[in-house]
Protein backbone atom coordinates (compact mmCIF):
# COMPACT_ATOMS: atom_id res chain seq x y z
CA UNK A 1 0.00 0.00 0.00
CA UNK A 2 0.89 3.64 0.14
CA UNK A 3 3.33 4.99 2.69
CA UNK A 4 0.47 6.71 4.52
CA UNK A 5 -1.48 3.44 4.94
CA UNK A 6 1.63 1.54 6.03
CA UNK A 7 2.44 4.21 8.63
CA UNK A 8 -1.12 4.10 9.94
CA UNK A 9 -1.03 0.30 10.27
CA UNK A 10 2.35 0.41 11.99
CA UNK A 11 1.19 3.01 14.55
CA UNK A 12 -2.29 1.60 15.18
CA UNK A 13 -1.68 -2.11 14.88
CA UNK A 14 1.15 -2.65 17.35
CA UNK A 15 -1.06 -2.87 20.41
CA UNK A 16 -3.42 -5.33 18.79
CA UNK A 17 -0.90 -7.89 17.57
CA UNK A 18 -0.48 -9.75 20.86
CA UNK A 19 -3.00 -8.30 23.30
CA UNK A 20 -6.24 -6.44 23.72
CA UNK A 21 -4.54 -3.28 24.93
CA UNK A 22 -4.61 0.09 23.24
CA UNK A 23 -1.92 0.81 20.68
CA UNK A 24 1.19 2.33 22.27
CA UNK A 25 0.68 5.60 20.40
CA UNK A 26 -2.83 6.13 21.86
CA UNK A 27 -1.81 4.99 25.33
CA UNK A 28 1.07 7.49 25.29
CA UNK A 29 -1.21 10.31 24.11
CA UNK A 30 -3.68 9.56 26.94
CA UNK A 31 -0.86 9.47 29.48
CA UNK A 32 0.49 12.81 28.22
CA UNK A 33 -3.01 14.35 28.58
CA UNK A 34 -3.37 13.10 32.15
CA UNK A 35 0.10 14.32 33.06
CA UNK A 36 -0.68 17.75 31.63
CA UNK A 37 -3.93 17.94 33.61
CA UNK A 38 -2.12 17.01 36.84
CA UNK A 39 0.80 19.38 36.39
CA UNK A 40 -0.22 22.45 34.44
CA UNK A 41 -3.98 22.53 33.96
CA UNK A 42 -5.21 22.30 37.56
CA UNK A 43 -7.21 25.50 37.15
CA UNK A 44 -9.31 23.72 34.49
CA UNK A 45 -10.15 20.92 36.91
CA UNK A 46 -10.96 23.45 39.63
CA UNK A 47 -13.23 25.38 37.24
CA UNK A 48 -14.90 22.13 36.12
CA UNK A 49 -15.58 21.15 39.74
CA UNK A 50 -17.01 24.59 40.51
CA UNK A 51 -19.25 24.45 37.41
CA UNK A 52 -20.36 20.90 38.24
CA UNK A 53 -21.32 21.89 41.80
CA UNK A 54 -23.20 24.97 40.58
CA UNK A 55 -25.09 22.99 37.94
CA UNK A 56 -26.28 20.40 40.47
CA UNK A 57 -27.33 23.20 42.85
CA UNK A 58 -29.28 25.01 40.11
CA UNK A 59 -30.89 21.77 38.91
CA UNK A 60 -31.95 20.91 42.47
CA UNK A 61 -33.74 24.26 42.79
CA UNK A 62 -35.33 23.91 39.35
CA UNK A 63 -36.59 20.40 40.13
CA UNK A 64 -38.28 21.66 43.31
CA UNK A 65 -40.00 24.43 41.30
CA UNK A 66 -41.26 21.91 38.72
CA UNK A 67 -42.60 19.59 41.44
CA UNK A 68 -39.90 17.04 40.67
CA UNK A 69 -41.10 16.04 37.21
CA UNK A 70 -37.54 14.84 36.57
CA UNK A 71 -35.05 13.20 38.91
CA UNK A 72 -31.26 13.31 38.80
CA UNK A 73 -29.89 9.77 38.70
CA UNK A 74 -26.21 10.57 38.23
CA UNK A 75 -23.76 11.08 41.06
CA UNK A 76 -23.11 14.70 41.96
CA UNK A 77 -19.35 14.23 41.44
CA UNK A 78 -19.91 13.63 37.73
CA UNK A 79 -19.86 16.41 35.13
CA UNK A 80 -22.30 14.28 33.12
CA UNK A 81 -25.82 14.77 34.46
CA UNK A 82 -28.47 12.12 33.85
CA UNK A 83 -32.11 13.15 34.28
CA UNK A 84 -35.00 10.70 34.14
CA UNK A 85 -38.74 11.07 34.39
CA UNK A 86 -39.87 10.90 38.01
CA UNK A 87 -42.11 8.08 39.25
CA UNK A 88 -44.99 10.58 39.53
CA UNK A 89 -44.76 11.11 35.76
CA UNK A 90 -44.23 7.45 34.79
CA UNK A 91 -46.98 6.22 37.17
CA UNK A 92 -49.41 9.15 37.19
CA UNK A 93 -52.26 9.29 39.65
CA UNK A 94 -55.59 10.65 38.65
CA UNK A 95 -58.04 12.45 40.94
CA UNK A 96 -61.62 11.26 41.07
CA UNK A 97 -63.54 12.51 38.09
CA UNK A 98 -67.17 13.27 38.81
CA UNK A 99 -69.90 12.37 36.40
CA UNK A 100 -73.48 13.55 36.75
CA UNK A 101 -74.73 10.44 38.57
CA UNK A 102 -71.74 8.79 40.29
CA UNK A 103 -68.17 9.35 41.28
CA UNK A 104 -65.73 7.19 39.34
CA UNK A 105 -62.02 6.74 39.64
CA UNK A 106 -60.05 6.79 36.45
CA UNK A 107 -57.03 4.55 36.65
CA UNK A 108 -54.18 6.10 34.66
CA UNK A 109 -51.80 3.86 32.79
CA UNK A 110 -48.10 3.55 33.36
CA UNK A 111 -46.18 5.31 30.61
CA UNK A 112 -44.62 2.86 28.20
CA UNK A 113 -40.95 3.11 27.29
CA UNK A 114 -41.93 4.60 23.93
CA UNK A 115 -44.13 7.23 25.62
CA UNK A 116 -41.27 8.13 27.97
CA UNK A 117 -38.89 8.43 25.01
CA UNK A 118 -41.39 10.66 23.19
CA UNK A 119 -41.69 13.01 26.20
CA UNK A 120 -37.91 13.21 26.68
CA UNK A 121 -37.35 13.71 22.94
CA UNK A 122 -39.85 16.56 23.04
CA UNK A 123 -38.00 18.16 25.96
CA UNK A 124 -34.65 17.70 24.19
CA UNK A 125 -35.87 19.11 20.86
CA UNK A 126 -37.65 22.06 22.47
CA UNK A 127 -34.53 22.92 24.49
CA UNK A 128 -32.46 22.70 21.32
CA UNK A 129 -34.85 25.12 19.59
CA UNK A 130 -34.15 27.50 22.48
CA UNK A 131 -30.36 27.11 22.23
CA UNK A 132 -29.74 24.46 24.90
CA UNK A 133 -28.37 21.06 23.86
CA UNK A 134 -29.59 18.05 25.84
CA UNK A 135 -29.33 14.49 24.61
CA UNK A 136 -32.32 12.17 24.85
CA UNK A 137 -30.88 8.67 25.22
CA UNK A 138 -34.02 6.57 24.79
CA UNK A 139 -33.84 5.77 21.09
CA UNK A 140 -30.18 4.80 21.15
CA UNK A 141 -30.72 2.36 24.02
CA UNK A 142 -33.86 1.02 22.37
CA UNK A 143 -31.85 0.14 19.28
CA UNK A 144 -29.37 -1.83 21.40
CA UNK A 145 -31.94 -4.43 22.27
CA UNK A 146 -35.38 -4.65 20.70
CA UNK A 147 -36.56 -7.19 23.30
CA UNK A 148 -35.29 -5.19 26.29
CA UNK A 149 -38.13 -6.26 28.61
CA UNK A 150 -37.65 -9.99 28.08
CA UNK A 151 -33.93 -10.22 27.50
CA UNK A 152 -31.71 -11.71 30.18
CA UNK A 153 -28.53 -10.69 28.38
CA UNK A 154 -28.86 -6.91 28.40
CA UNK A 155 -29.80 -4.40 31.03
CA UNK A 156 -31.22 -1.51 29.08
CA UNK A 157 -31.08 1.76 30.98
CA UNK A 158 -34.28 3.75 31.32
CA UNK A 159 -34.87 6.60 28.88
CA UNK A 160 -33.12 9.72 30.08
CA UNK A 161 -31.78 13.15 29.27
CA UNK A 162 -28.05 13.75 29.40
CA UNK A 163 -26.27 17.05 29.72
CA UNK A 164 -22.60 17.74 30.26
CA UNK A 165 -20.90 20.63 31.99
CA UNK A 166 -17.38 21.73 31.12
CA UNK A 167 -14.74 24.10 32.45
CA UNK A 168 -15.47 26.65 29.71
CA UNK A 169 -19.09 27.18 30.73
CA UNK A 170 -19.80 30.38 32.62
CA UNK A 171 -22.23 30.88 35.48
CA UNK A 172 -24.53 32.65 33.02
CA UNK A 173 -24.44 29.65 30.65
CA UNK A 174 -25.44 27.28 33.44
CA UNK A 175 -28.19 29.57 34.74
CA UNK A 176 -29.62 29.95 31.23
CA UNK A 177 -29.47 26.20 30.65
CA UNK A 178 -31.39 25.43 33.84
CA UNK A 179 -33.88 28.28 33.25
CA UNK A 180 -34.72 27.00 29.75
CA UNK A 181 -34.90 23.40 30.92
CA UNK A 182 -37.27 24.40 33.73
CA UNK A 183 -39.57 26.26 31.32
CA UNK A 184 -39.62 23.35 28.90
CA UNK A 185 -40.28 20.79 31.65
CA UNK A 186 -43.25 22.87 32.85
CA UNK A 187 -44.53 23.14 29.27
CA UNK A 188 -44.12 19.45 28.34
CA UNK A 189 -44.76 17.72 31.67
CA UNK A 190 -47.16 20.18 33.27
CA UNK A 191 -50.13 17.81 33.16
CA UNK A 192 -48.29 14.81 34.63
CA UNK A 193 -48.33 14.04 38.34
CA UNK A 194 -50.07 17.18 39.55
CA UNK A 195 -49.84 20.88 38.81
CA UNK A 196 -46.58 22.72 38.24
102: alpha, beta or left? (left if phi > 0; alpha if psi -120 to 50): beta
DSSP-assigned states of every residue in the chain: --HHHHHHHHHHHGGGSSSSSPPHHHHHHHHHHHHHHHHT-HHHHHHHHHHHHHHHHHHHHHHHHTTTSEEE-S-TT-SEEEEEE-HHHHS-----EE-SS-EE---PPPPPHHHHHHHHHHHHHHHHHTT---EE-HHHHHHH-TTTTT-SS--PPPP-EEEE--TT--HHHHHHHHHHHHHHHHHHHTTSSS--
CB atoms within 10 A of CB 160: 23
**15 — pLDDT class (breaks 50, 70, 90):** low
Query: pLDDT tens-digit profile of 30-76?
Result: 999 888 888 878 888 899 999 999 999 999 999 998 888 999 999 99
- Specify the range with the lowest mean pLDDT, choosing from 41-50, 62-71, 97-106, 110-119: 97-106
Q: What's the mean pLDDT in 81-110? A: 69
Tell if the pTM clears 0.85, that is, is over it. Answer: no
Express each pLDDT in 127-170 by its tens digit.
Answer: 999 999 999 997 765 555 555 455 555 667 899 999 999 999 99
Amino acid sequence: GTEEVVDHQRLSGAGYCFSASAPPFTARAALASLTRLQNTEKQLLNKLNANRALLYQLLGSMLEETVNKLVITSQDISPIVILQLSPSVIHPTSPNSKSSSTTTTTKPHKLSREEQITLLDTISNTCLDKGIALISTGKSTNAMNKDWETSTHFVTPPPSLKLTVSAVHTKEHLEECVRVLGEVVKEVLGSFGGDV
